[in-house]
Amino acid sequence: MRRTGEQLLLVSAAVYGVSTTVSVVALRVVRPVDLLAVEITGAAAMLMTSAAARGRLRRRGALRQMLLGALVPGLAFLFGDLGLARTSASSGSLLLAAEPLLSVLLAVVVLRERLSRGAAIALIAGLAGSGLVALGSGTSGDDTTLGNTLVLLAVLAAAVFLIATRRFNGNGAGLNESAWQSTGGALSVVPFVAASWSTGGTRLDTVGVAGWAACIAVVLCGAAGSVTFNQGIARVPAARAAQLGNLTPVVGTLTAVLFLGDRPALLQLAGGAAILAGLALLLYEQDKPAFTDRPHRPVSERSMS
């Protein structure tokens, strides 16, 4: 069961990596608020319809899932779209590597999963690398400190989301949980979208076929990533799940370099190397093992015992 969960999380991580690059493409023709509205409402409509049609939509726990959805896709997508509009796809992808590190840190503090000295050193190295990526805009005019900071805020929201879903979700009902989470995310960003459209308007009415194709691709990536993540997280310890998220920045950076021609600055590459080195050390430490998995039951099960 754990192996299946890890495979699902790897698929989710890869899909989110592709989504980062596709989002940058979409943001070349639409405003961040436009993409935010399309990707969240589109995913919510698709997942709710699919869950209802398959008889998998459950009201029990819906409010909790909607509150989780305020983190992801809500705040994470909001900060992510605003940040990616101000930075390059490669920088955004490299910064996503900070999410597993933050998630491991939260797993230790909140879920009390044990961390070895070597893994602690890896965390420090990885977080320092995140700082280099965020500040090392180099010669690329697309990179800004503000954009990188917004991406890091999205990463923080995603890290908190991972820990929360590991703590509260335990049945692996990916479609049902993703449907309610996407709905909660959509509702949480409505005020921002309304305010932004009332003051700055929208570009959705002038987007061509290519622009809409990019937006729809982001919607599909978000829905697929969410479902596979929720199916996998119930089967894998939080620290291990965080490490598997290392695939996201790798896929995101590779697709940005191959398809968008991005060229990260030297300082950013150094920061990215530090991040990946920290993640590799975390993986090595867990295999020793660095983490001691503790039996964990969802809150709903503990309350019944």
Q: For the chain, which ranges sit under pLDDT 70?
A: 1, 115, 134-143, 170-173, 282-283, 285-305
pLDDT the model gives residue 286: 60
pLDDT the model gives residue 95: 81
Provide CB contacts within 8 A for 32, sequence distance 6+: 81, 82, 84, 85
pLDDT the model gives residue 172: 59
Distances from the Cα of 1 to the Cα of 5, 6, 234, 288, angstroms = 6, 9, 10, 21
Q: Is it true that the peptide bond before 73 is cis, omega within 30 degrees of 0?
A: yes
The tokens for 126 are 């990885």
pLDDT the model gives residue 253: 82
Residues across the chain: 305
